[in-house]
Amino acid sequence: MFRTPGWIGLLVVTLIVVGESHARAADAVSKEGEIAWSGSLTTAWRAAREQQRPLLLFVTMDTCVHCQKMKQTTLKDAAVQSDLKERFIPVALNVKDEPEFIKTLRVRTFPTLVVIQPNGDVVESISGYQTPKQLREKLAPIVRQAARGKPDAAAR
């Protein structure tokens, strides 16, 4: 699993708490059964801490063909949607709306999914287009950890 140095986790928390996201992704409006992606990093961070669930940031850019493909395929998959809705606080961020925060996360490839625990630790960064199977396999250790409610041995 990907782990950030402690100072980056602290910086991530500080950036989330200090600045309100200007992202305009599908915030709170979703069709029946679809993921309700938040566009507000601050609101999502608050929910993650209250519910003790990790944030799942879907970092995109407008001109990214692979981002659009992932939105239309992988993120529409029923099993992926179930995992994301039940185990994560999903947030969609566009690089143009949060360039400094995304730079802090060291995102250079789009799309990228970043998992941040409620304590601010960045525990996973998944770059590039992922099929439903690939994404579920990469998120499985985090899903298992959340189901147990305790740290996964692989995350240490």
How far lies 76's CA from each of 8, 20, 43, 96, in Å?
31, 28, 23, 24
pLDDT tens string 9-54: 544 555 555 444 443 433 333 454 578 899 888 999 999 999 999 9
% pLDDT > 90, the chain: 60
Neighbours of 24 (CB within 10 A): 11
**Integer CA distances (angstroms), 100 to 47, 64, 114, 155, in order:** 22, 19, 15, 26
Average pLDDT of the residues of the chain: 81
Question: Is beta strand 122-127 parallel, antiparallel or unpaired with respect to 55-60?
Answer: unpaired
pLDDT at 62 over 80: yes
Query: Could you confirm whether domain 6-147 is CATH 3.40.800.20?
Result: no
Please list the residues that pair with 126 across neighbouring strands.
113
**Whether the predicted pLDDT of 64 surpasses 90:** yes
Is 74:126 a contact under the CB 8 Å cutoff?
no
Residues 6 or more apart in contact with residue 86 via CB below 8 angstroms: none
- For residue 89, give every residue at least 6 positions away whose Cβ sits within 8 Å of its Cβ, in sequence order, or none: 38, 44, 47, 48, 51, 53, 54, 55, 56
Distance CA 98, CA 39 (A): 11
At 100-124, the pLDDT tens digits run 989 999 999 999 999 999 999 999 9
Distance (Å, whole) CA 29 – CA 149: 29
Three-state SS at 70? helix
Q: What is the pLDDT of residues 66-107, one digit of tens each?
A: 999 999 999 999 999 999 999 999 999 999 998 998 999 999
Alpha-helix residue ranges (DSSP H) falling in 19-108: 41-51, 65-72, 78-87, 99-104
